[in-house]
Structure 1
Amino acid sequence: MAGHSTVDRGPRSRVGWHVLVGVVALPLAVAIAANTTVGLGQRLLALGTLAVIVAWYALVSRQVMAGGDERWGTLYFAALAVAFPLLLAIAPLGGALMFALCPQLFVMVARWRIRLPLLLILYAELAWAMFARSGVSRYTLAMVGVTVLVPLTVTILLGAYLTGIREQNHKRATLIEELTRTRAALARAGHEAGVHAERERLAAEIHDTLAQGFTSILMLAQAARTTLHRDVTAADGQLDILERTARENLAEARSLIAALAPVDLTGRGLADALERLAARHTRDTGTRVELSVGGDRPGAPTATDVALLRTAQEALANVGKHADATGVRIELRHEDDLVALAVTDDGQGFDPDTVRGGYGLLGIRTRAHGLGGTCTVRSTPGGGTTVQVELPLTTPEPALPGPHPLPDLTSAAMTERAEPRR
């Protein structure tokens, strides 16, 4: 065992040891002062000795309890081995101080080869005080057995038990710390692997779309330059193909950008994006859409804003396709630790218990669960539909690379409409 004690030396633990000393020393001081069987000078000398012991504890405990090595504890008890018999010689009631000294011994001194001799010295001094006061007799021997040998045995056993518990707690704390570091390292590794995989995906997308398109444009431009002076008709056809290829490439570029971040959120907040989405839906479909925003706006992760905007887009798309509604209400609510979005329509509704199939709402649910949130769909035939998503403001730790379980399409589809695309 190392030279340091394994006890928890936080501020709360230190206060507990200080309280223990006070609980033992104060009543002992009162009892010594009230003992009129001895002279005033002896009482004052005993109180002075007790005060020195307490002051010595106050001085050394700051060193030991704050994480010092056991040499301070050994020095502390070496001095007590001198002061304690003096206190016992003046006031036998000082033996009650053992109630504080024994626990301190197992805190301030870590090794048994130092603990045990110090403990035997203290109890030997207590036994000596009893023999010096009452003499050697059967009665004194019996009292020494009851007040010295039995407590000594119990102290050793209890000290061994508590030491074992502290060592186990120390090992458990070390293991937890190592597991926490390992978990953080795995999370970072998983995040880096995800970033690497996403980069590879984007590289493949760019290679298969933009790079190929640019190559085609370059070849067509070169061919058009070659045939421009010889065959204007052929060059004109090549320029038409070049223009069409450029337009397709531009569409691919816009598609890639849209996959990374919704255009409505670029440089804007979620509430503004929802307001524009509502106005656009009202303009395109004629269905009135109202937006309500409640609560202060805390800083939400971009992934949360993207998920909520996608939810509103999918819900409004479903309303336009299936609900036959005359009005829609979008509610965005911010609370202390979550943000919630609800899209409610007054359309024809449906019975969630009879639905089998559909993927639109399943996509909303999967996206919400991926961010540690929930998705709830409430609907009744003729009573409209409400799609509500609640997401925490703190995004979950990135998942480690490896196989992922497939979503339960049957149970998730229970709350979706019966149309083939929802």
Structure 2
Amino acid sequence: MAVRSTVDFGHRYRAGWHVLVGAVAIPLAVAIAADVTVALGQRLLALTTLAVIVAWYAFVAPQAMENRDERWGVAYFAALAVAFPLLLAIAPMGGALLFALCPQLFVMVTRWRVRIPLLLILYAELAWAMVARVGVSRYTLAMVGVSVLVPMTVTILVGAYLTGIREQNRKRAALIEELTRTRAALERAGHEAGVHAERERLAAEIHDTLAQGFTSILMLAQAARTTLPRDPTAADGQLDILEKTARENLAEARSLIAALAPVDLTGRSLADALDRLAARHTRDTGTRVEVSIVGERSPAPTGTDIALLRTAQEALANVGKHADATTVRIELGHGNGLMTLNVTDDGQGFDPATIRGGYGLLGIRSRANALGGTCTVRSTPGQGSTVRVELPMPQSEQAARSLRPVRDLSSTPDH
């Protein structure tokens, strides 16, 4: 992250560094060339030295600014410390070049214990050039104080400011990178949670629809195989039921793939879907199923309707596999902002505390919890069982129902 902030600072403001060096070097070169008090050969040597310093900047400074290894900066300024005295010995006005060179030090070198010695060397060279040219005197010392100590102090202050900016850039880059990693992690976690939830949803849907349908098909096929030698006509009827069940299962599979509402709810209310479910269960198992509806029927399939239909399907499947019941009663009611579904059988019952694992009751509870509802199972061995699910009605549906009178409807499928 330190690399990133250094690269950003050095690269982003590269044009500014070029302008600064050019703004100092070009007028300085013009001034040296125009100084007729200096011999032509010395002027040419000073201009050549200045050109070498500028070329050294052009080839090395960008790398030193963008490289995380401050040894590049140390090497860059070490070479300048060799060439700079030569320029000052010929043209003391070359000291103006420090205005362009010293700020670079605080970008190329990160440690103050390395910066300060390099800075002192450059300004000591400037002080030496002034003393060597004029001699030691109070005036010279005053000029050194004004021309060396004041600029050096200002340079240190500017360097501290640049260091603060770079540190802020580094921290900002670190924060942005951390936020980026956190967002990526949250996206991955959200995606994984979504995949897991979708897998669980599909597992529950398959268990409540396709698996139960295949179980019915298997039972009908076994029954037809047993009946066929004795009574081909009865077996033919069983095969018709088997074919119809297979078609219904196929429709459920297509509906599941297309992420549509259950086939029984397509174009029908939940009450009608429960009637069809009851009739189908009676047809396939011979167990009488009664449906009782209290309140206004739902006008269209909703997530709540789907959850209640799946609950009824799973409860009836458990009755068929475990209860050995003769009658099952499904009660659907609306009231107090809740939709309730009770599936009660007169079978052999069980101890709810002994039930472990499986998708059945777990799937019912998961659907109810996902919609903010509850699932309760009451059963006693030998006395049947009841599965009760309560789900909150959507607010819009509650408002609509509050404007309509409540009706008691009961339906028992024809067998």
Q: TM-score if structure 1 supplies the norm length?
A: 0.59
> What is the letter of the counterpart of residue 59 of structure 1?
F
What SS class does the counterpart of residue 110 from structure 2 fall into? coil
1:87 maps to 87
Report deviation, 1:248: 1.8
> In the alignment, residue 245 of structure 1 is paired with which amino acid?
T
Aligned to 1:60: 60
CA contact (8 A) 1:29 1:47 kept: yes
Aligned partner of 1:264 in structure 2 is none
Asked whether the 8 Å contact 2:64–2:76 carries over to 1, the reply is no
Which whole-Å CA distance do the structure 1 matches of 2:6 and 2:228 have between them?
A: 88
Residues 5 and 110, structure 1, Cα contact 8 Å, conserved in 2? no
Distance of 1:204 and 1:57 partners within structure 2: 70
Q: CA deviation at 1:224?
A: 0.8
Closer, same or farther: CA 248–163 of 1 in aligned 2, 3 Å: same
Count of residues paired in the alignment: 278
C-alpha change, 1:240 and 1:7, in structure 2 (3 Å) is closer
Q: Where does structure 1 lack aligned partners over 5 or more consecutive residues? A: 262-358, 364-402, 412-418
Q: Aligned residues: percent identity?
A: 83
Cα deviation per residue 1:200-236 (whole Å; 9 max; x = unaligned)?
A: 1112111111111111111101111111121234323
Q: 1 CA distance for matches of 2:205 and 2:177?
A: 42
Distance apart, 1:89 and its partner CA: 1.4
Larger-Rg structure: 2
Residues of 2 paired with 1:132 and 1:81: CA distance? 17
Amino acid at match of 2:27: P
Residue 143 of structure 2: aligned partner: 143
- The one-letter amino acid paired with 1:259 is A
Q: 1:2 to 1:240 in 2, by over 3 A?
A: closer
Looking at structure 1, the residues matched to 77 and 39 of structure 2 have their Cα atoms a distance apart, in angstroms, of: 29
Give matches, 1:296-311, under 5 Å. Answer: none
8 Å CA contact 2:33–2:43 kept in 1: the answer is yes
| 1:104-161, Cα deviation, whole Å (9 max, x unpaired) | 1112222111110110111111112222222233332222222211111121122122
Measured after TM superposition, the shift of residue 245 of structure 1 is: 1.5
Structure 1 residues 2 and 410 mapped into 2: Cα distance closer, same or farther (>3 Å)?
Answer: closer
Match in the other structure for 1:98? 98
Q: Is the 8 A contact 1:87 1:94 kept in 2?
A: yes
- Amino acid in the other structure paired with 1:250: L
d(CA) in 2 for partners of 1:157, 1:24: 20
How has the CA–CA distance of structure 1 residues 116 and 259 changed in structure 2, closer, same or farther, with 3 Å as cutoff? Answer: same
Q: 1:6 and 2:6 equivalent?
A: yes
| Change beyond 3 A, Cα 1:61–1:178 | same
Q: Which moved more, 1:22-31 or 1:227-236?
A: 227-236
Name the residue aligned to 2:127.
127
In 2, are the aligned partners of 1:4 and 1:69 still within 8 Å (CA)?
A: no
CA distance in 1, matches of 2:79, 2:5: 20
Residue 260 of structure 1: how far off its partner (Å): 6.8
- 2:243 aligns with 243
Q: Which residue of 2 aligns with 1:193?
A: 193
The answer on whether the counterparts of 2:7 and 2:67 sit within 8 Å (CA) in structure 1 is: no
Q: C-alpha root-mean-square deviation of aligned residues, in Å?
A: 3.5
| Cα distance in 1 between the residues matched to 2:184 and 2:162 | 33
SS in 2 for 1:200: helix
| SS of residue in 2 equivalent to 1:37 | coil
Residue 251 of structure 2 aligns to a residue whose secondary structure is helix
Which letter does structure 1 place at the counterpart of 2:222? Q
Alignment match, 1:355:
none
- Counterpart AA for 1:92: P
Alignment of 1:152 with 2:147, yes or no, is: no
Secondary structure of 2:46 counterpart: helix
Deviation track 1:29-69 (CA, whole Å, cap 9, x = no partner) reads 01111112222122111101111111222232243134252
Q: Give 1:107-118 correspondences, 5 Å limit.
A: 107-118=107-118
In 2: Cα distance, 1:192 partner to 1:113 partner = 50
Report the alpha carbon displacement of residue 168 of structure 1 after superposing the two structures with TM.
Answer: 2.3
C-alpha contact 1:88 1:126 (8 A) present in aligned 2: yes
Q: Is the 8 A contact 2:228 2:235 kept in 1?
A: yes
Q: Which position in structure 2 is the counterpart of 1:266?
A: none
Output aligned runs, 1:35-50, within 5 Å.
Answer: 35-50=35-50
2:383: which partner in 1?
none
Counterpart position of 2:184: 184
Query: How far 1:72 moved relative to its partner?
Result: 2.1
- C-alpha separation in 2, matches of 1:125 and 1:404: 80
Tell me: CA distance 1:166–1:68, structure 2 relative to 1, closer, same or farther (3 Å). Answer: closer
**Alpha-carbon distance in structure 1 between the residues aligned to 2:246 and 2:165:** 74
